Structure 1
Amino acid sequence: MFPTIEISSEIHVPTYYLVICVVVAICLVWVTRRSHQLKLSASHTLDLSLLIMVFGFIGGRLFHVFYESFSYYQNDMMRILYFWDGGFVFYGGALLAAFAGMTYLYFKVHDQLENYLDLLAPVLALGYGLGRVACFLAGCCYGRACDLPWAVAGKHPSQLYAVFWELAVVLVLIGLEKSRSQIDFFKAPGRLFYTWMILHGSGRLLMESFRDDFRGPTVGFSISSWISWGIIILGITLLSKKPVDSKV
């Protein structure tokens, strides 16, 4: 693992945050270019991206604090603000960001809401996939004991499993998007995004099956597994929905 980059004896840059910053920059450039390619408003796209980043950060932090480690923070609530010490939950951020993003799209571009979801789909997949590189370098989200040839420090590299899965998802989504003219089913707006929901949820379940770090109390499965099942079921439901005024 490589949790920090030593600039000097007194200055250390957390690898996790450095990677996340680079990933966010890459995603912003790509989503802006995609907005031009798909003839969607770059202004709305950047506003939406900002909302996702801000509420994703807040949601990820709060979910960690109040679900995973409240006993640690309750004696000194100021620790909640010490985000540089780590402590984020992806699904906490994803759920709050989804609420904020959907609210924005509903009121700003209601008639094109699903077009913007399709715009985001491969970008979200890329962001999540590359973001797990940060987890790998930081040493968090680690896997169970493993003696396979690709084990890292004697454990399953569950973070890298997520990286490879989600990068494959990016390729699948791009392929489907380019083939829309030949595949009637995917011509309807939103279906690219709903496909990502199913693929992401499935990949997250796979990753969860290998993880061994503490992620709060469980009810049969980890909370992330339950959320993943919910995302998969919702994605299948939305994907099977007949488009309005469409022959698809």
Structure 2
Amino acid sequence: MYPLIPLGPTLNIPTYYLVISLTICICLYWSTRRAFAYDLSKKLTLDLGLLIMVTGFIGGRLFHVLYEDIAYYRESMWRIFEFWNGGFVFYGGALLAGLCGYLFLRKKDSHRLPTYLDMLAPLLCFSYAAGRLACLLAGCCFGKYCELPWAISGRHPTQAYAALWELGVLFILLGIEKGVRESGQPKIFKKSGSLFYLWMILHSLGRFIVESLRDDFRGPEFGISVSSWISAVIFIYGWYLLLAKPRQN
């Protein structure tokens, strides 16, 4: 693992935050390119991206504090703001950013909200995969002990599993997107928002599988981890949205 990149005797850069920072820059640039392809407002897309970035950071941090280690932060509330020590939960960030992004688009461009979702879907795949690679370098989100040839330090490299799964989902979405433009895909994928709904299904399925191999502290469990329950709900809701008939204006 490479949690730190040394720049000098007393100066280091956290690998996790370096990867996340680069990912954000790439996604902001890529979002403007995709906005152009979807004939969406570049300014609104950048505003949405910045909103997702900020609320995702806050949501990910709060979910970690409240769900994973509340006793530790009760000892000193100032520890909540020591984010450089790590402690973020993807679903916490995704849920808060998703809610805020939805409300923002409902106010600014409600008629094209499903189109914005399709535009964002591949970005979510890429950013999640990059985030899991950052976790692999940092040594967090590790898996259970195993003796497989590709084990890292005797454990399942669950971070790599998640990253590879999400990259696979990314290629599937981009392939379907290209097929829809060439009118060669099933009618179901021509509905606005369907690309995002498919991402919900595939992402949550992969997350549910990988969760079963995780061995880091997952917070209080109710048969399965909270993240697994959230994945199950997203999986079912994604199918509902994908198969539901489009609303008539």
TM-score (norm 1): 0.97
Please point out which of 222, 226, 237 is paired with 1:234: 237
Matched, 1:212 2:215: yes
Shift of 1:244: 2.7
Q: 1:94, 1:185 → 2: CA distance?
A: 25
- Tell me which stretches of 4 or more aligned residues in structure 1 moved more than 4 Å: none
Q: Which SS does the other structure have where 1:94 is aligned?
A: helix
Deviation at 1:245, TM superposition (A): 4.1
Q: In the TM superposition, what is the alpha-carbon distance from 1:179 to its structure 2 partner?
A: 0.8
CA contact (8 A) 2:125 2:170 kept: yes
State the match for 1:117 in structure 2: 117
For the pair 1:173 / 2:176, whether they are aligned, the reply is: no
Q: How does 1:50-199 map to 2 (within 5 A)?
A: 50-180=50-180, 181-183=183-185, 184-199=187-202
Between the aligned partners of 1:134 and 1:112, the Cα distance in structure 2 is 33
Distance across 1 between alignment mates of 2:136 and 2:22: 15
**Whole-angstrom CA distance in 2 between matches of 1:29 and 1:83:** 26
Structure-1 separation of matches of 2:31 and 2:160:
24
* Secondary structure of 1:215 counterpart: coil
Summarize deviations over 1:10-32 as a string: whole Å, max 9, x none.
10110000011111111111111
User: Match of 1:60, as an amino acid?
Assistant: G
Kindly state the Cα deviation for residue 124 of structure 1 after the two structures are TM-superposed. 0.5
* Secondary structure at 1:109 match in 2: helix
Instruction: Give per-residue Cα distances to partners, 1:181-207, cap 9 Å, x unaligned.
Output: 222221110001000000000010111
Identical columns (%): 56
Q: Counterpart of 2:95 in 1: which secondary structure?
A: helix
TM-score, normalization by structure 2: 0.97
Q: 1:243 aligns with which of 231, 239, 246?
A: 246
CA apart distance, 1:9: 1.1
Amino acid at match of 2:114: E
2:230 is the counterpart of 1:223: no
Name the amino acid aligned to 1:178.
Answer: K
List gaps (5 residues or longer) in structure 2: none
Q: Which amino acid aligns with 1:234?
A: Y
Contact 2:117 2:196 in 1 (8 A): yes
User: Structure 2 CA distance, aligned partners of 1:85 and 1:154?
Assistant: 25
**Secondary structure at the counterpart of residue 46 of structure 2:** helix
After superposition, the C-alpha distances for 1:129-177 in whole angstroms (9 at most, x for unaligned) are 1110100000000000010010001000000001100001010000111
> Matches of 2:243 and 2:99 in 1, distance apart?
22
For 1:41, the equivalent position in structure 2 comes to 41
CA distance in 2, matches of 1:204, 1:157: 14
| Cα contact 2:188–2:243 (8 A) shared by 1 | no
- SS of residue in 2 equivalent to 1:74: helix
Give, in whole Å, the separation in 2 of the partners of 1:222 and 1:132: 18
How many residue pairs get aligned? The number is 246
> 2:3, 2:137 within 8 Å by CA — same for their partners in 1?
yes
Paired with 2:148 and 2:165, the residues of 1 have a C-alpha distance of: 19
Is this contact kept in 1: 2:115–2:192, CA < 8 A?
yes
Give me the CA root mean square deviation: 1.0
